[in-house]
Homo-oligomer: A and B are copies of this chain.
């Protein structure tokens, strides 16, 4: 392994995208210039080997790509544009330098796509599994707060795209059923696409929107909105968007993936019913998909699924690190 200082040199980006970066990697901390028409967004997300990913199902490149993607997704869920990120990585002995470079290459490719700059980090060794922690910084138009607590009775519930693909992809990977027919499912798990464009449109709309990105599953994220807003969310089974690849699996399995799968990084949200047509039009004009999937109804805080004539209570479930 290289000297720590050579290593830092090797992962320092050769180019930068953001004009508000004053100093990036190389000093005690990074310096950035604020933009006055925006509020700043900050979040951190940590992935641990054999808890959140394994080398069986994810290449080092994909691990890096996804570690950044989940953070960009959190910025998108606040209606923001990602600007900067910092990476802390705890490295076990059994990872080679080439694999580590691949992790950073995966992050760099996604960073280039969203014009996000790596401005800092920390590289340490560990006797345990690989731990990658990414901090993301973004900016959202001033006073646009797309918070979980914004949902109100009567709101339309929307989703930016189909969910359950990532869970399906993971299952195929674990069962060694990798084939080109299922590429979109595998990609959804290994190289997920944060919904930055959709988040920006939602902020731009100016409507009172509650918003979450789907990291823990549609059920869990809907529950978070329901709980924060003290409302009842009713999802409609028939309106949940699906993909052709799901035809290869049973309806029960697909529904389980859609509700509890997680890691799809689509955005689920609510908007006042009277604003829904205008929001739908804004997305349509921008070539961005947006699906109505339910409504906020009278009732205790919680989530139900309307399927035919049935109203099925949906539990929170989803991934909970303490119950594993």
Cα distance A136–B30 in the bound complex, in angstroms: 11
Cα distance A127–B320 in the bound complex, in angstroms: 16
Contact with B along A211-240 (1 / 0, CB 8 A): 111000000000000001000000000000
A131 interfacial by beta-carbon distance below 8 Å: yes
Contacts of A46 in B (CB 8 A): 88-90, 122, 124, 133
Cα distance A28–B46 in the bound complex, in angstroms: 14
Min CB distance, A234 to chain B, in Å?
A: 22
In the complex, the answer to whether A320 meets B4 with C-beta atoms within 8 Å is: yes
Can you list 8 A-B pairs with a CB-CB distance of less than 8 A?
A22-B39, A26-B148, A29-B74, A29-B75, A34-B39, A86-B135, A92-B128, A125-B324
Contacts of A121 in B (CB 8 A): 44
In the complex, the answer to whether A86 meets B44 with C-beta atoms within 8 Å is: yes
A45 interfacial by beta-carbon distance below 8 Å: yes
Contact with B along A159-190 (1 / 0, CB 8 A): 00000000000000000000000000000000
Contact with B along A22-35 (1 / 0, CB 8 A): 11001111111111
In the complex, the answer to whether B145 meets A44 with C-beta atoms within 8 Å is: no
A40 interfacial by beta-carbon distance below 8 Å: yes
In the complex, the answer to whether B42 meets A124 with C-beta atoms within 8 Å is: no
- Using CB atoms, name the residue of chain B closest to A47: B124
- Using CB atoms, name the residue of chain B closest to A142: B33
Q: By CB atoms of chain B within 10 A, which of A23, A27, A33, A90 has the most?
A: A27
In the complex, the answer to whether A28 meets B77 with C-beta atoms within 8 Å is: yes
Cα distance A324–B81 in the bound complex, in angstroms: 40
In the complex, the answer to whether A31 meets B41 with C-beta atoms within 8 Å is: yes
Which residues of chain A have a CB within 8 Å of any CB of chain B? 1-5, 7, 22-23, 26-36, 38-48, 50-52, 74-75, 77-78, 80, 84, 86-90, 92, 119-129, 131, 133, 135-138, 140, 142, 145, 147-148, 211-213, 228, 320-324
Contact A28-B126, Cβ < 8 Å, known A7-B322, A44-B135? no
Q: What is the count of identical protomers in the complex?
A: 2
Contact A321-B140, Cβ < 8 Å, known A23-B147, A44-B86? no
Cα distance A126–B211 in the bound complex, in angstroms: 29
Contacts of A88 in B (CB 8 A): 44-46, 88, 133
Cα distance A50–B128 in the bound complex, in angstroms: 11
Contacts of A90 in B (CB 8 A): 46, 48, 131
Determine which of B40, B45, B92, B213 lies in contact with A122 in the assembled complex, contact meaning CB atoms within 8 Å: B45
In the complex, the answer to whether B120 meets A44 with C-beta atoms within 8 Å is: yes
Cα distance A34–B211 in the bound complex, in angstroms: 23
Contacts of A28 in B (CB 8 A): 43, 74, 77-78, 148, 211-213
In the complex, the answer to whether A321 meets B123 with C-beta atoms within 8 Å is: yes
Cα distance A147–B22 in the bound complex, in angstroms: 11
In the complex, the answer to whether B43 meets A34 with C-beta atoms within 8 Å is: no
